[in-house]
Amino acid sequence: VSSDGFILTNNHVVTGEARRVTIEQLDVTVALADKREMRADVVGVDPATDLAVLKIGAKNLPTIPWGDSARLKVAEWVLAVGNPYQLSQTVTLGIVSAVGRTNLGVSTYEDFIQTDAAINPGNSGGALVNARGELVGINTVIFSQSGGYQGIGFAVSSNLARRVVNDLQQYQEVRRGTMGPDQYVPLSTRMAEELGAPDTKGALVYRMYRTSPAYQNGMRPGDVVVTFNGTPVEDPGHLSRLVSDAPIGSTASVTVIREGQRVALKIPIGRVPRN
């Protein structure tokens, strides 16, 4: 992703089965398309999105331009590039099956592009590219009952990946905002009717801590969060992404539905503690 040797891939590609190891203990080699092999330094990893940034000592490398994953449309053509079964530089063709997939249970912070381009073991960390040759995703997950291709693959969106890259390059960690360690759940139709919400969009506040900034600034269990800084909230996963991307130290404007009435709140955005 830069001509001076910064490389974006998946965290699980870099760490493998390793657990509780430091970045300095990881021994990573990168094989380039021109057959060169180079030792890589691990700049940083982000298990929450399953992304990692490496750095190799090379100059004037070819790079891929960033695309805007927010502009992707369902049924748009995409190419998946990777190394399935050690077959390097493999390219497969498909379409975008869905965008904004969350709640897959594969990472903490999810914003996946679903595609039917063939993605197999070994494709992880490879590029998902649009018809203009722009990077729109990082191939990360396959859904398979057989272990192989079944037409359902997932890529981390490029807009999420770009933010992770910038933070890892600058801070060696990803800095995320939080309103507190509270729990939010999706709304069912029955819940929405009982709580006076117009539909099932939003995030239901299920459990709160009295020490959390959200609680101390007026949010209560049973509230339904429907907007965050003016953006309508689709579900808890969407709210998590909005809060995470909010500037640390800022004050967020949050609208909740409480007993059928809309209530405006101002909640300070703190920083998620480093693990």
Clarify whether 238 is annotated catalytic. Answer: no
Residue 206 backbone dihedrals phi, psi, to 5 degrees: -95, -45
Known catalytic membership, residue 34: no
User: How many CB atoms neighbour CB 227 within 10 A?
Assistant: 17
Cβ-contact 80, 116 below 8 angstroms: no
Strand extents, DSSP E, 50-146: 51-56, 77-82, 90-101, 112-115, 127-130, 135-142
Residue pointed to by tokens 């994953």: 69
Secondary structure letter of residue 186 according to DSSP: P
Task: Considering the candidates 69, 107, 124, 157, report the single residue annotated as catalytic.
Answer: 124
Q: Are the beta carbons of 153 and 137 closer than 8 angstroms?
A: no
Phi and psi torsions of 146, nearest 5°: -105, -15
Query: 90 vs 126, 227, 271, CA distance in Å?
Result: 10, 42, 40
50 is catalytic: yes
* Residue of 46, 50, 111, 116 with catalytic role: 50
- Alpha helical stretches, state H, the chain: 11-15, 158-171, 189-195, 213-216, 236-245
Q: Cite the active site residues.
A: 12, 50, 124
